[in-house]
Amino acid sequence: MATIHHTTMTPTKLELLTGWLPKQSWYVGDASAPELVKAGGFRLDDPEGEVGIELMVVVDAAGREPVAYLVPMGYRGAALEGLPGEALIGTSEHGLLGTRWIYDGVHDPVVTAGLRALLRGEAVPQRQSESDTPDPTVTVHGAGPEDGLDEVRVNRVLRPAATAQGAAGRLVAGWTWPDGSAARGVFATVAQR
């Protein structure tokens, strides 16, 4: 099980995402000045214990209406070779672990393997800020260990909804809007082989 270290990161994850997020093709906000707040998410355990896996929800409150984004992230102790430039969100100095390379999880093979395992029912989602604590609010519907998973699709822009058309399986979890209201939506879907 992953250990959550309550320490500093410089720059913070939100600072890194503020620079990275507006450059992504799926960003729908005002690219000049996002106002990001952490709004939810959960963690997965890397069976090898090497990569931190977090699925973070951030809300951009800069526009007329807030927009929720899902950013899966892989935290590594060394750089990954052979990934496209946009895969690296940035590096940060962790108060206990030193330099961390933070990657967009859709490009990190350990993160994508964790998502597939979760959608097959072979992984347990963990609370975002507590060590060894399952998060029962994260639910998987429609897929199982016997299902061949062809493609996992991460929903980058989150909308409140519990279903997804045409998906063999879906991952549903929640976040909190800036006004304090709660929402749940489909974080990822999977197509069946």
Query: What is the secondary structure of 78-145 as a DSSP string?
Result: SPPSS--GGGEEEEEEETTTEEEEEEEGGG-HHHHHHHHHHHTT-S--B-TTSTT-B-TT-EEES--T
The pTM of this model reads: 0.90
Residue written as token pair 């355990």: 45
Chain-centre distance of CA 97, in angstroms? 21
d(CA 71, CA 163): 20
What was the pLDDT predicted at 168? 72
List per-residue pLDDT tens for the chain, 193 residues long. Answer: 555 556 677 799 999 999 999 999 999 987 677 999 999 999 999 999 899 999 999 999 998 899 999 999 999 999 998 998 889 999 998 766 669 899 999 999 999 999 999 998 899 999 988 878 999 999 998 766 555 556 889 999 999 986 666 667 899 999 999 999 999 999 998 876 5
**Cα separation values, 108 from 46, 73, 142, 143, Å:** 12, 8, 25, 22
Q: Strand 139-141's sheet: what is its strand order?
A: 139-141, 169-176, 182-192, 149-154
What was the pLDDT predicted at 86? 87
